Each structure stands twice: as structure tokens, then as C-alpha cells.
Amino acid sequence: MDGICETACPECDLLVELDSLLAGQRANCPRCGHLLTSFDPGATTRALAFAVAALILLGVANAFPFLELRQSGLETMMTIPGAGAELYQGGHRVLAGMVLVPIALLPASLLGLMVALLIPLRAGTNAPWLVGAGRLLFGLNAWTMSEVFIIGVLVSLVKIGAMATVVIGAAFWAYGGFVLCFVAAFGSLDRYQLWREIERCRA
């Protein structure tokens, strides 16, 4: 990736000219020292692997029981889609959407976008959806709540465990693995370098 490009520092808004980086090199803002970009040749491959793994784990998490509660001979099983369906059938349609969209539907869509974006980039080929996928990928990521959801579940387990027997299902572990892979996939991507790669493929 040759040539000088300009980018604005997200911390202090200084417009900085950046030249091509070698593997392992980092570029920091000359004013505030904020990391602007770093070049890792294996980042695209790593992000793609994490994205595919996250999609598989999310599928498992939606297909199996998440939690099972047992109290006084009564058993209640919870699944992620089932939780949204119960809210919807109970007349809480907005709440059902607020539950399912940020913890399942939106992350799955973003991972699909990431896979659709990274496969052409790895192959070095142009695709008509590269720019749109790149914009959506970073624009919608802030609206996912998968990390918040799993932390909230862990906190709730402490309180529920004092009132009932809690059996953790396979979906719980799958969702935890999904969250780790989801975070790792986005953490592997450098936004500046990704856009330079998109520009190179479209040239």
C-alpha cells in the first residue's frame, strides 16, 4: 500500500499525513500521541477467522438451552430466541426487539458484513459492496450489546442462584465464546489500514 494519505486524529482532530507503514510499525498523533494506525499483514486473515468462529458459536448459542432454573419441582428453560419470543407474545414487542437486535441479530449481521468484506480483500479483488460494507461495519458496531448482555447474565446468576438451582446450558458457553471471538475480530481490524486496503482493491 503505497502513497501518502491524510487522516484526522480521533482525539484532537489534528489532520495528519501518513505514509505507508512496514509490518509492525505504528503511527501516533504528533500532537497528543494517540495511536492512529498500526500495520499488521496478518490482521485480515485473523479477523476473518475470528468472524467465522463467532458466527458458528452464535448459531450454537441460538440453537441450544441457555439457562435452566429449577425450584420446588418446577423447571424453566431459557433460550435466546425463546426469551425474545416470550416478550413478543406477551405484548412487549418493542422490548423483544431491544433484546434480540443488539445481542443476536445485529452482531450476526455485522459478522456477515465482515466476512463479505474480508474475503474479497484477502483475494485482492474488487467487489461492489466493499465501501458500503466498510461504512456499516464501523458505524453499527457501537450498537451491539453482546458484551453487556453476558456481563449482566453473570451478575444475575449470583442473585438467582440464591433463590433457585441454576443449570448453565451449552448456549451459555457458546455465547461466551462468541463474545470473545466477536471482540477479537473487531480488535484485529485497524480502521485506517482497512480503508487503504479497500481503496487499493478498488483502484
Same domain, 158 and 112: yes
- Does residue 3 carry a pLDDT above 70? no
3-state secondary structure string across 40-98: CCCHHHHHHHHHHHHHHHHHHHHHCCCEEEEECCEEEEECHHHHHHHHHHCCCHHHHHH
- pTM equals 0.85
Measured from the Cβ of residue 122, the count of other Cβ atoms closer than 10 Å reads 13
Q: Are residues 115 and 24 in the same domain?
A: no
Same domain as 73, residue 146: yes
Residues 70, 116 within the same domain: yes
Report the number of distinct structural domains present in the chain: 2
Please state the rounded mean pLDDT for residues 163-171.
Answer: 89
pLDDT band at 174 (very low <50, low <70, confident <90, very high): very high
pLDDT in tens, 45-78: 999 999 999 999 999 999 999 999 888 778 888 8
Range of the domain at 7: 1-39
Residues of the chain by 3-state class (helix, strand, coil), percent to 5:
60, 15, 25
**129 and 83 both lie in a single domain:** yes
Judgement on whether residues 21 and 120 belong to the same structural domain of the protein = no
Are residue 183 and residue 153 in the same domain, yes or no?
A: yes
- Rounded to 10 deg, the angle between the 93-100 and 80-89 helix axes is 160
Hey, which residues does 69 pair with through a beta bridge? 76, 166
Whether residue 47 sits in one domain with residue 35: no
Q: 104 and 139 share a domain? A: yes
C-alpha cell at 69: 432454573
Please tell me whether residues 24 and 110 are part of one structural domain.
no
